[in-house]
Amino acid sequence: MPPNPIFSGLWIALGALSMVFHIGLIFYGLVPNLVARPLHMALILPWVFLFAAKSRAGWWSGLGLTGVGVLGCLWIAFNHTMLRDQYGFLENAFQVALALALLGIAMEGARRMIGWPLPLVALCALLYGLYGQHIPGEFGHAGTPLASFLGTLVIAEGGLWGSLTGVSVGVVAIFVIFGAVLNAGEAGQGFMNVASAAAGRLTGGAAKVSVLSSALFGSISGSASANVASTGAITLPAMTKLGYPKRLAAAVEAVASSGGQIMPPLMGAGAFVMVELTGVPYTQIMLAALPPAILYFLTVWMGINAYAQRFDLQSVPEDERPNRRMVLITSAFFLVPFTVLLVAMFALGFTPQYAAVLAIITGGAALFFDATLRMNIGQGIARSGTAMIAIGQQVAMIAAIIICASIIIGVLGITGLGIKITSVILSGSGGALWPALLLTALACLLLGMEVPTTAAYVICVSVAGPALTQLGLEPLQAHLFVFWFALLSTITPPVCGAVFIAAGMIGENWLKVALTAMALGLGLYIIPLSMIANPALLRLGSDTGGAVLAFAMIGTGLSFLSYALIGRASLWRRALLTVAGGAACFAGAAFF
């Protein structure tokens, strides 16, 4: 929050406006895309350039960028009817200047929120679109007139206002609001209490509390970094107090927190992007993504058990575990809204957006009650203000990433570069599936080191997804495979964001933490490949028996592999466990 408290009320009001706008779109009826999407961008710009400003110079420059950007977005929204008749062709110098300004502001906004890598990729894409006709060979393109190229990106729905931005406006923002409302109340403590009660008494209990709480919190936060910073503030001191090695404590938190991005319902906005890109209903994506996500956390759990053979991993002392009454009360603060969400979607057949609104209302009412179930109006108002600021920040963060990534996707579509890269993957793999998967995985890992997971997934799946589906994968299989491997860089050196944060919080060498995290997070490397070898794993909704069988086989295999890598055993036993684990994880490969 800005240091001057006089601005607090203004930011709360702006966050409330963002909430009302995004929820209102669900009830307004059909709003033209060239109205809703520019207004979405206009609402995030103050948060990107002013709220997040780190210096006075940054604030003043941000004020100018915000003014230009907001006015430009409003101009497009008010003139959407005229612009629709231009069919993506800019008609005068003012429109060209506006297009250049909005593209620059979109890239600068992403830079201020997440750093240079993604904006640089977007800038390279723009330069390719403008000058790629001079590149010889198959990677050149025929060229596009400047007015048409910029117009498609800015006054049509082929760039800034494309389908990805539509996902940010219509779905992602709603679930971000839901998460912010929950976290402003007792839900966060409820997550910790449930985890402590469920796992605190077990061997390695403090580490397992971290796993469960990160899974629960991550299911709504969808951010590895946010997960480490929030749950880690509690779990890391608890583990070090009980004598856990620092590298192990930090690795547990980093690996568990990374799993939040693959845990339904939010999946770091990935689930909603998949809806748009695949056309698969959201509920079906949730059902498909749930078994692999549970397998991931199961693997971490088994890894902790294996480490318990090497270290004295104690349970949480009984006097530090919450009593049953406190667990029941605090868990209701997230269980009731989640129940409303799931019942509305699966039992009543409401859309995810409408179901989320009902859950937001339920969570908002819970802000006015404390852990003793007494109503506290003053506390509820204060929590509501906190929620409004969190809404503004978090919607802006995701929107800045998605809008910048939309530039890249727009250029791929205009120039046909995506099709060319797809053909390279097909030819480089010799038309075989598994070499194509390995090439795609490498691309995901490299790109994920530089850009956030969701953006890396969007870019990779845009170029590699068609190749994988041509080689026989179902669209959802291909998308989940790419999404999981886009997450690798959270724990894999040399760039591993979740590891850096956890290591910094506990004061340990990041490389030691990363190596331990890779061993604990073995499932992140194996499960995406197992999805391909055992496609039944993703068919929980249509083939429940096959999905359960695949789940059991892969879970057993991952347990064997985890003990072979981490546990104390002789060399021949490790070899036997490795062979048995690999066979169980990839048993279906021969039939696919």
Q: What is the pLDDT along the chain (592 residues), one digit of tens a residue?
A: 444 455 788 999 999 999 999 999 998 878 999 999 999 999 999 999 999 888 899 999 999 999 999 999 999 999 999 999 998 999 999 999 999 999 999 999 999 988 888 899 899 999 999 999 999 877 888 888 999 999 999 999 889 998 888 888 988 888 889 888 988 888 878 888 888 888 878 888 888 888 888 777 766 665 677 778 777 887 888 888 888 899 999 999 999 888 888 888 767 667 778 887 888 888 899 899 999 999 999 999 999 999 988 887 878 888 778 888 888 898 899 889 989 988 998 888 888 889 989 999 999 999 999 887 888 999 999 999 999 999 999 899 889 988 998 999 899 889 988 778 778 888 888 878 899 998 888 888 777 765 677 777 888 888 888 889 988 899 999 999 999 988 888 888 877 878 888 898 898 999 999 999 999 999 999 999 999 999 999 999 889 999 999 999 999 999 999 999 998 888 899 999 999 999 999 886 544 4
* pTM for this prediction: 0.84
3 state SS for 408-436? HHHHHHHHCHHHHHHHHHHHHCCCCHHHH
Q: Find out whether 207 and 249 touch, Cβ atoms under 8 Å.
A: yes
Four-CA torsion 9, 10, 16, 17, nearest 10 degrees: 160
Q: Find out whether 134 and 82 touch, Cβ atoms under 8 Å.
A: no
Angle 84-86-87 from CA coordinates, rounded to 5° = 75
Q: Is 333 helix (H, G, I), strand (E, B) or coil?
A: helix
pLDDT for the residue 591 = 42
Q: How far is C-alpha 308 from the geometric centre of its chain's CA atoms?
A: 31
Q: Find out whether 98 and 75 touch, Cβ atoms under 8 Å.
A: yes
| Structure-block tokens of residue 485 | 């491997």
Q: Which of 418, 492, 486, 415 is nearest to 452 (CA)?
A: 486
The DSSP secondary-structure symbol of 493 reads S
Radius of gyration of the chain (CA): 24
Per the listing, tokens 């003139």 go with 79
pLDDT for the residue 583 = 93
Q: How far is C-alpha 419 from the geometric centre of its chain's CA atoms?
A: 26
Q: How far is C-alpha 504 from the geometric centre of its chain's CA atoms?
A: 22
Rounded to whole angstroms, the Cα distance separating 220 from 263 reads 8
Burial of residue 351 (CB within 10 Å: 0-12, 13-18, 19+) is middle
Q: Find out whether 490 and 225 touch, Cβ atoms under 8 Å.
A: no
